Amino acid sequence: MKYEMVGLCETGLVRNVNQDAVFWGKTECGAVCVVADGMGGHSHGEVASNLIKQTVLQCWETFTEENCRRGFCDMFDYLKCELEKANQALYQEYGKKRMCGSTLVLLFCFQNQYGILYAGDSRIYLKKGFSFIRLTTDEVWENQKNIPKEERQNTSHPNYGKLVNAFGSEADLHMRMMTDVLRGGELFLLCSDGLYKMCTDKQIKAAMRSVRSGGDGMKAALMRLKEETEEAGATDNFSIIMLKTDRE
């Protein structure tokens, strides 16, 4: 499988500090990318997001040093375990005193499989052929099944939009995960909420559908989303990574 990747991590037009962190890397046999959005309403959100970035980077360096000799399941489980260890270390240092957390969404591709890990409300979209779907569900108050429907639909509720899960929020990290097969021709987009709160799904879909091939087409789509986010005000940090697969 062949992988092409582009990305950006922007402070936006209002914030003074960028609490987002991103990483992407690839080899001939695999690729990994992660978007982490530090919780700006709490202390040191950038500490949590950068810890996620460094943890994934170190895992990826281990994989490349070993020439990716492990199998998909082994490497995916290693990523999950290392993030759980990092979460415990962060919580022990900050959690009992003050919140220090971050959302995360991670995509790992290896040979003909991919896996996703996420916690919080950063997102991943997939375009395959004519289909366009969001693979993640925002882990926010109104998406909890035990909340009555009439309350969940009340956008003025004080809990509306609040995260119910994040890296660093508890001693044990609870990540949602999924795996599936790669067939080639997939286009993934990972982003923090600073993008999708400024751009609609329709705009994101249009940008992804504009990618006819990798390289310049992906860069143009990335810049299109950046411009649309800034035109809408870019009130938060925003990060985007796009990953395209093709069979050799």
Pairing of strands 20-26, 30-38: antiparallel
Q: What is the pLDDT of residue 151?
A: 78
Write down the pLDDT at residue 125: 98
> According to the model, what pLDDT value does residue 212 have?
80
3-state secondary structure 46-111: HHHHHHHHHHHHHHHHHHHHCCCCCCHHHHHHHHHHHHHHHHHHHHHHHHCCCCCCEEEEEEEEEC
pLDDT of residue 43: 60
Rg (CA), the chain: 18
CA distance 58 to 42: 26
- In tens digits, what is the pLDDT along the chain, a chain of 248 residues? 899 999 999 999 999 999 999 999 998 889 999 999 999 765 689 999 999 999 999 999 999 998 888 999 999 999 999 999 999 999 998 876 777 899 999 999 998 999 999 999 999 999 999 899 999 999 998 888 888 877 777 888 888 888 999 999 999 999 999 999 999 999 999 999 999 999 999 999 999 999 987 678 999 999 999 999 999 999 999 999 999 999 87
Report helix angle 45-65 to 72-90, nearest 10: 150
Supply the pLDDT for residue 25.
96
